[in-house]
Chain A
Amino acid sequence: MNRSKRLFPGDERLCQPVPLTRRRLLGHSAAAAATAAAAMMPTTATSALASLSGSRDPRLLVVVLRGALDGLAAVPPMGDPHYADLRGEFNLTADAVLPLDNLFALNANMPNLAQLYRQKDAAIVHAAATSYRSRSHFDGQDILESGLPRAGGDSGWLNRATLNLASSSRVKPPQGVAIGHAPPLIMQGEAPVLTWSPQFYPHPDADTLGRILALYDDQDSGLAEVLRAGISADASDTGERLNLQSANKLFLREIDKTIAFFSDPDGPRIAALSSDGWDTHAGQNPVKGKLANKLSVLDKGIARMAKGLEPIWQDTVIAIVTEFGRTAAINGTAGTDHGTGTCAFLLGGAVKGGQVFADWPGLAPKALHEGRDLAPTTHINGVFKGILRDHFGLEAKALDGSIFPGSDTVSPLNGLVG
C-alpha cells in the first residue's frame, strides 16, 4: 500500500504538511504520474497567479444527486477482493465496466465520463461522506447542503461562498442561480439568488406579460423586479413544454439552461442543480435496471455539459455529489439500502482530472462501517473547501469561518483544481 504523505510529489503548494497521513492518490500510472509531476510546477504557479490577479472567470456548478447514489455501482472497486461477493448476482463483471486503474472502474453506462477522465477533465473522489452517520435522506441532504455538522441550518455553504465572492467579482448580483422553483438549501442564504425552472405552461404572449408587469410597476416595484428577472430568464428558453413525468428530459433541459447561464458574460457564476430518484432500494440490475438508466442519463448530461461549456471549460468546475452512499451488499429486493461512504464526480477543465482521490478503506467485513457500509475516509466538505480555495482563491479565514464554520479540522483536499 502506497501511503504517500503528499498527493502530488513536486507540487510546491503541497509541501505544507498534509494532516491526513493515510491519504493516497490512486489512479495514476507511473508514466502519467511522472508527466504530471513534470508539468505541475509551472502550471500551478501560473494558475495561482492568475486567480489572484482576477483574470480568470471561474464557474462552479454543484449537482446534488438526491436519494443517495450507490458509489459502489457507479465507480466499482473491481480490484477489491470482497466486491464481487457483496454484490452477488448484481456484481459488475469486466464487460460491464470501463477500467480506470487497477482498483477502480467506471460503470459502463458512463462512457462520456470515462472519456473525460482519460482526457484528464474528470476526477473521482471515493469513500467520501459528510459528517452525517444516520440514514435519513432529509437530514443527510440538509447536512450536505448546509455544510454544517447537524441538520436544521437555514443557509447553504454554496450561498455563503457566493456571498464571500460578491465583493471581489465583476459580475453584478445575483451571482448564484438555483435551478428549481426555490433555491434548495445549498443555495439559500443572504446572497441574492436567481431561480429558474423549465417552462411547464405555454409561454404567455408579450402583450399579456407587458400588462401584468405594468400592474407590478405601479403597485409593487420590489415584486416587479423579481418578476422581471423571472421573465427574462425564461425569455431565452426554448419554450418546449415539459411533461412532469419525464424527469430525464427535465434534467437535460436544466443542464442546457445552466450552460446558458454560465456562458452569459454577465450571468451567474455559481449554480446549483438537483437530480432526484437515486434511492435504489430495488431494481439495481447494473445492465438494464433503474440505476443503470439513471447513470446513463447523468452521463448524457455530463457530455452535454462538456460540449456546451467548451469555450469556458478551463474556468469550470462541476461537482456531482450525493447525501450518502448505500449498503455494500445487495438487499433482498435486488437493490441497496441507505449507507454511508460513496463517490463524487468532479468535472471541468479546471479539474486535475484522470485521478481517483481515495483513501480506500477496503470492503472486508471488518472494514465496513457498522458492518454494512463503505467506510467514509474523506470528508466531502474537504472536497468543497479544496475547490473553493483553489478555484476561487477563497482563504482559510472564509472557509473555516462563515462558509464552513468551525471546520478547521477538515482540511481542504489538495490537488483537485489547478
Chain B
Amino acid sequence: MIDQATIAVNRFGLGGRPGEIAAVGGLPADYLLAQLDRAPRVSGPELPDTAEAITAFREFRRQRRKELASGDTGKTGTMMSSNSPRRIYNAEVRARIQTFVETDTPFAERLCLFWANHFAVSAASPPIAAMAGAFEREAIRPHITGNFADMVLASTANPGMLLYLDNANSIGPNSRAGRRRNRGLNENLARELLELHTLGVDGGYDLDDIRELAMAITGWSLAGPKTTRARMGTFVFRRGAHEPGTRNVMGESYRNTGSVAQGQRVLNDLAQHPSTARHIAFKLAQHFIADAPDRDLVATMERAYLQNRGELMPVYTAMLSHPTAFRPAPMKFKTPVDYMASVARGLQVDRNYQFWSRGLVVMGQRLWGPPSPKGWPDTRKRWVSSDALKTRLDFAVAVGRKMRTNFDVQQRATDMLGASLDRDTEIAISRAADQSQALALLLMSPEFQKR
C-alpha cells in the first residue's frame, strides 16, 4: 500500500531525495501547505531582472547587426558575450536545476513551474530566452500563495509578457499616437489573457471582449532608451498610446482613467469571474491529480476560489483535502521537466548542468520554452509516444553510465520512491549486472515515470 507521505513527495513535490519521505509525518496536506508559508519569495539575486535582460538583449542585437552588416555570419564574439540571450538563459537554467536539487519547499517549486507555464512567455524567441527566468522570479514566485488577481496583474504588466505578446507596441486607434501614426492595436495579449490566463477558451467571451480588453491595456509598455522617467526595460504607462473612452468587457463598463487603473479594474474583475474560477480549478487539478480530474474535486476547488475571491491558498487546501488527492493509483505521467527534476533531485546532482539541461532539449521540453503562449501541455497524450519513451530510456541509461554511483542504488530507490517502489523493480535492481544498469532500471522503472 502506497502511503500518503510517498504521495506527498512524488505527486505534489519534485520526487524524493534521501530522508524526504520520512520527514513528511502523519499530516501530509499540512506538510505541503507549510512549505508554502516558508517558501522563498525571491530567488537568484545574482541573475538579471527582466529590465536588465532586455537591455542586455538590445545591446546584443545592436552588436550582432553590426557583425551581420559587415558580412560576418559566424559564431563570433557577440554570440558568446555576456549580453547574449543564450548565456543568460543558460545561467537561468543552471539556477533552476540547482533549485530542483536543493529546495526544501518542492511543492512551492511545483507551483512556480505550474504558474510560469500558465502565464507562459516562451524562451523560443531570443529576447524572451533572456527574460523567462526573471519573469518567473518577478511575476510568478511572489504571488503563488496570494490572490490570483495579483498574479494576473503582475504577469500582464511584466516587460517579458508585454514583449512576448506584443502589447508593448499596441496603440489605441484614437489615442494621440494612434491618430499620428499608421500603427495600431495589437490584440495578442488581450486574446491570451481571456483564452489562456483567465476565463478559458469556453469562458464566454467574444471578439468584442478581446478588442475592448486590448484597448483597456493600450499604453502598457516598457521604457525604451529615450525614456527618462523610468529605468530602461521597466514598465511604463504611455498615456499617449492609451485608447480614450469607456471600455466594456464581459458586460461590465470601465470608464477611462487616463492611467493603468482602467485596465487593472478589468483584469481584477476577470480574475474574479466564475469562468476563471472553473478554468483555474480544472487546470490545477489536471496538473496535480489526473488528466481527467474528478468532477467533485474540480467543483470543490472552484467553490473555494469563488468563496475566497481568488485567494489561492484555500484552493490548494481544497485540492489537498479532497479524497481523490491522495488516491494511491498514480494518474499522471511525468513531463520531461518533472522527470529530469526528480532524477536530479533524487541523485543530488551538483555538476554537469549542461548534461541535464541538454537532456531536457533531447526529451523535447526545453525549460521555459513552450512552442506557444498556451504553455506546455502536461497530459499523458502529449508526452507518451514511442519516441518520447525510448528517448527517456536512452537518457536513463546515459545517466546510469555517467553518474559516479558512490551510493547504494537499492537504498536510493527506496529514498526516491518510498512505498511506490514495485517489488519487481526492487528485484530487478538487486539483480542488475552493475551499478550503471541498476541506476538505469530505477530511473526507467514504470513507477518512476508516474506520480
Interface residues of A (CB under 8 A from B): 136, 138, 142, 152, 180-183, 193-197, 199-204, 207-209, 211-212, 214-216, 218-220, 223, 226-227, 229-231, 233-234, 244, 282-283, 285, 289-290, 333-334
Query: Which residues of B, 393-428, contact A by the 8 Å Cβ criterion?
Result: 393-395, 397-398, 401, 422, 424-425, 428
Q: Which residues of B contact A204 (CB under 8 A)?
A: 393-394, 397, 440
Per DSSP, chain A at the interface is mixed
Which residue from chain B places its CB closest to the CB of A234 in the assembled complex?
Answer: B390
Q: List 15 A-B contacts (CB under 8 A).
A: A136-B188, A182-B382, A194-B385, A195-B388, A196-B387, A200-B362, A200-B391, A201-B391, A211-B428, A212-B444, A214-B428, A218-B424, A219-B447, A227-B386, A333-B65
- Kindly identify which residue among B386, B394, B449 contacts A229, using a CB–CB cutoff of 8 Å: B386
Known contacts A181-B388, A215-B446, A226-B389; can you find 13 more A-B pairs with CB under 8 A?
A: A142-B372, A152-B201, A201-B362, A204-B397, A211-B428, A211-B441, A215-B424, A215-B428, A218-B424, A223-B389, A223-B446, A230-B393, A233-B387
CB pair A202–B398 under 8 Å, yes or no, is yes
Per DSSP, chain B at the interface is helix
- Kindly identify which residue among A195, A201, A289 contacts B394, using a CB–CB cutoff of 8 Å: A201
Cα distance A89–B143 when bound, in Å?
A: 52
Q: Which residues of A contact B424 (CB under 8 A)?
A: 214-215, 218-219
Smallest CB-CB A-B distances: 5 pairs: A230-B390, A181-B364, A230-B386, A195-B387, A201-B394
Cα distance A223–B397 when bound, in Å?
A: 18
CB pair B441–A244 under 8 Å, yes or no, is no
Cα distance A212–B395 when bound, in Å?
A: 13
CB pair A233–B386 under 8 Å, yes or no, is yes
CB pair B394–A181 under 8 Å, yes or no, is no
CB pair B68–A333 under 8 Å, yes or no, is yes
Q: Bits for B330-366, please: 1 = Cβ < 8 Å to A, else 0.
A: 0000000000000000000000000000100111100
The size of the chain B interface, using a CB distance under 8 A, is 46
Q: Which residues of B contact A223 (CB under 8 A)?
A: 384, 389, 446, 449
Which residue from chain A places its CB closest to the CB of B186 in the assembled complex?
Answer: A134
- Kindly identify which residue among B361, B363, B383, B387 contacts A230, using a CB–CB cutoff of 8 Å: B387
CB A66 to nearest CB in B, in angstroms, measures 10
Q: Which residues of A contact B73 (CB under 8 A)?
A: 283, 289-290
Q: Which residues of B contact A220 (CB under 8 A)?
A: 446
B69 within 8 A of A: yes
Cα distance A290–B64 when bound, in Å?
A: 14
Q: Which residues of A contact B432 (CB under 8 A)?
A: 211
CB pair A282–B68 under 8 Å, yes or no, is yes
Most buried by A among B68, B358, B395: B68
CB A229 to nearest CB in B, in angstroms, measures 4
B18 within 8 A of A: no
CB pair B394–A200 under 8 Å, yes or no, is yes
Which residue from chain A places its CB closest to the CB of B436 in the assembled complex?
Answer: A208
CB pair A207–B433 under 8 Å, yes or no, is yes
CB pair A227–B437 under 8 Å, yes or no, is no
Q: Which residues of A contact B422 (CB under 8 A)?
A: 215, 219
Q: Knowing A183-B385, A230-B387, say if A199 contacts B394 (CB, 8 Å).
A: yes
- Kindly identify which residue among A214, A215, A226 contacts B384, using a CB–CB cutoff of 8 Å: A226
Which residue from chain A places its CB closest to the CB of B75 in the assembled complex?
Answer: A245
B127 within 8 A of A: no
Cα distance A230–B363 when bound, in Å?
A: 13
Cα distance A142–B195 when bound, in Å?
A: 16
B173 within 8 A of A: no
Q: Which residues of A contact B363 (CB under 8 A)?
A: 181
Q: Which residues of A contact B447 (CB under 8 A)?
A: 219
Q: Knowing A244-B362, A333-B65, say if A181 contacts B201 (CB, 8 Å).
A: no
CB pair A215–B393 under 8 Å, yes or no, is no
CB A283 to nearest CB in B, in angstroms, measures 5
Which residue from chain A places its CB closest to the CB of B443 in the assembled complex?
Answer: A212
Cα distance A201–B390 when bound, in Å?
A: 11
Q: Which residues of B contact A197 (CB under 8 A)?
A: 387, 391
B445 within 8 A of A: yes
Q: Which residues of B contact A195 (CB under 8 A)?
A: 385-388
B106 within 8 A of A: no
Q: Which residues of B contact A181 (CB under 8 A)?
A: 363-364, 385, 387-388, 391
CB A14 to nearest CB in B, in angstroms, measures 39
Query: Which residues of B, 33-77, contact A by the 8 Å Cβ criterion?
Result: 65, 68-69, 71, 73
Q: Knowing A212-B441, A215-B446, A223-B446, say if A180 contacts B69 (CB, 8 Å).
A: no
CB pair B445–A283 under 8 Å, yes or no, is no
Q: Which residues of A contact B394 (CB under 8 A)?
A: 199-204
B371 within 8 A of A: yes
CB pair A227–B390 under 8 Å, yes or no, is yes
Q: Which residues of B contact A229 (CB under 8 A)?
A: 386
Most buried by A among B188, B385, B387: B387
Q: Which residues of A contact B382 (CB under 8 A)?
A: 182
Q: Which residues of B contact A138 (CB under 8 A)?
A: 371-373
Q: Which residues of A contact B358 (CB under 8 A)?
A: 244
CB A86 to nearest CB in B, in angstroms, measures 20
Cα distance A212–B361 when bound, in Å?
A: 23
CB pair A208–B387 under 8 Å, yes or no, is no
Which residue from chain A places its CB closest to the CB of B388 in the assembled complex?
Answer: A181
Which residue from chain B places its CB closest to the CB of A139 in the assembled complex?
Answer: B372
Q: Which residues of B contact A199 (CB under 8 A)?
A: 394
Cα distance A247–B266 when bound, in Å?
A: 45
CB pair B364–A233 under 8 Å, yes or no, is no
CB pair A212–B65 under 8 Å, yes or no, is no
CB B382 to nearest CB in A, in angstroms, measures 6
Cα distance A305–B65 when bound, in Å?
A: 36
Which residue from chain A places its CB closest to the CB of B437 in the assembled complex?
Answer: A208
Q: Which residues of B contact A193 (CB under 8 A)?
A: 385
Q: Which residues of B contact A231 (CB under 8 A)?
A: 390, 393
CB pair B395–A201 under 8 Å, yes or no, is yes
Query: Which residues of B, 254-294, contact A by the 8 Å Cβ criterion?
Result: none
Cα distance A181–B384 when bound, in Å?
A: 10
Cα distance A334–B397 when bound, in Å?
A: 46
CB pair B425–A215 under 8 Å, yes or no, is yes
Q: Which residues of A contact B71 (CB under 8 A)?
A: 285
- Kindly identify which residue among B388, B401, B446, B449 contacts A182, using a CB–CB cutoff of 8 Å: B388
- Kindly identify which residue among B201, B371, B385, B444 contacts A226, using a CB–CB cutoff of 8 Å: B385
